[in-house]
């Protein structure tokens, strides 16, 4: 009963956020600069190529993580396992895509312990790398006081320090203790984590570049605004991630992105861009989901024929 009530409340909150955004979009429709709008199909194509680069970097990061933990997998395995489980993030909560990855990993005879540790490590590196890119972007934007700059630099250093496996283990186990989950031991070295971080920075950079081209496909945006877009994109993702009641950050991410894009875009266009960004990445995830299923099926047919 309690779970049902929580789910209904979460759906209600998401619906309210979307209704608020849609109401503002309709109410400010006349403020959209239609004369400046365009449609550049090539920029849209480039944006999807950027998402493909993001996905490959993501898949490579998990392949490397599993190898470092002692469970060697191929890049093909990593690609289809991620593509077929990532869609579960749109279910309520933040665990279903993790559960799905562990489930398919066990079906492939991988260590359950290594799978669990890899998912926790992946989540930590996703959050920390996004924080670092956000803070770096805020610094590069340049609109700050000395106090704000100092805070950003301190937080940037802290984020880099947390990557140390000894410190990261303590932070993770502290959070697991709060959640009443068993402790884990991160066995990878600091240098290995730094190497893994390159892939996570790569996947964020690819997504941000894709986001820039999505906007430019319909509205001219100078390259000088790339760090503003980077800060808006990463912070909206982090906000959507930590708010666990919203499946896949639905509504929450769009609301935050609208707020952060409003200083550089007309308000109704900022709302429209936040919706378009969601459709853009969801469409890509649906495509790779079916591609992943096809790859897995072809792999099974190949194994059966041998």
Most confident range (mean pLDDT) of 108-112, 159-163, 234-238 is 234-238
Q: Which of 122, 90, 116 is nearest to 103 (CA)?
A: 116
DSSP 87-102: GGGGSSSS-HHHHHHH
What percentage of residues in the chain have a pLDDT greater than 90? 20
Q: Which of 100, 42, 78, 298 is nearest to 203 (CA)?
A: 78
Which residues fall within 8 angstroms of residue 165, CB to CB, at 6 or more apart? 186, 187, 188, 189, 190, 193
Q: What is the pLDDT of residue 198?
A: 93
Flag whether the pTM goes above 0.95: no
> Do 62 and 77 form a contact (C-beta atoms < 8 A)?
no
Confidence of residue 266 (pLDDT cuts 50, 70, 90): confident
Q: What is the pLDDT of residue 175?
A: 76
**Tokens linked to 144:** 């700050």
Handedness of CA 154, 207, 289, 13 (dihedral sign): positive
**Tokens linked to 226:** 């790339």
Confidence of residue 246 (pLDDT cuts 50, 70, 90): low
In angstroms, how far is CA 147 from the centroid of its own chain?
29
pLDDT digits (tens, 9 = 90+) for 24-42: 666 666 667 767 778 899 9
Q: What Rg value do the Cα atoms of the chain yield, rounded? A: 20
Q: Which residue shows structure tokens 């802290």?
A: 158
pLDDT digits (tens, 9 = 90+) for 151-207: 777 777 888 888 888 888 888 888 777 767 777 777 888 888 889 999 999 999 999
**Tokens linked to 244:** 């666990």
């Amino acid at each position: 009963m309690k779970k049902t009530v929580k789910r209904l409340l979460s759906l209600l909150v998401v619906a309210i956020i979307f209704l608020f955004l849609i109401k503002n979009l309709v109410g400010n429709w006349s403020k959209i600069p239609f004369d400046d709008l365009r449609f550049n199909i090539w920029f849209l194509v480039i944006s999807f190529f950027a998402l493909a680069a993001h996905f490959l970097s993501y898949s490579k990061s998990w392949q490397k993580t599993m190898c470092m933990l002692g469970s060697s997998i191929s890049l093909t395995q990593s690609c289809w396992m991620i593509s077929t489980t990532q869609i579960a993030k749109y279910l309520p909560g933040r665990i279903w895509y993790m559960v799905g990855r562990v489930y398919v990993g066990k079906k492939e005879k991988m260590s359950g312990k290594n799978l669990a540790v890899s998912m926790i490590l992946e989540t930590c590196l996703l959050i920390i790398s996004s924080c670092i890119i956000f803070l770096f972007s805020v610094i590069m934007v340049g609109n700050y006081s000395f106090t704000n700059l100092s805070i950003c630099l301190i937080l940037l250093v802290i984020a880099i320090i947390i990557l140390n496996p000894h410190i990261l283990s303590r932070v993770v186990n502290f959070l697991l203790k709060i959640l009443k989950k068993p402790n884990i031991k991160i066995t990878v070295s600091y240098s290995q984590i730094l190497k893994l971080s390159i892939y996570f920075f790569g996947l964020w950079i690819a997504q941000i570049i894709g986001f820039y081209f999505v906007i430019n496909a319909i509205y001219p945006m100078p390259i000088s605004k790339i760090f503003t877009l980077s800060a808006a994109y990463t912070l909206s993702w982090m906000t959507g991630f930590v708010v666990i009641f919203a499946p896949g950050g639905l509504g929450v991410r769009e609301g935050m992105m609208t707020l952060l894009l409003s200083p550089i875009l007309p308000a109704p266009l900022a709302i429209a861009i936040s919706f378009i960004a969601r459709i853009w990445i969801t469409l890509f995830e649906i495509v790779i989901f079916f591609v992943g299923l096809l790859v897995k099926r072809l792999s099974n047919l190949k194994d059966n024929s041998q």
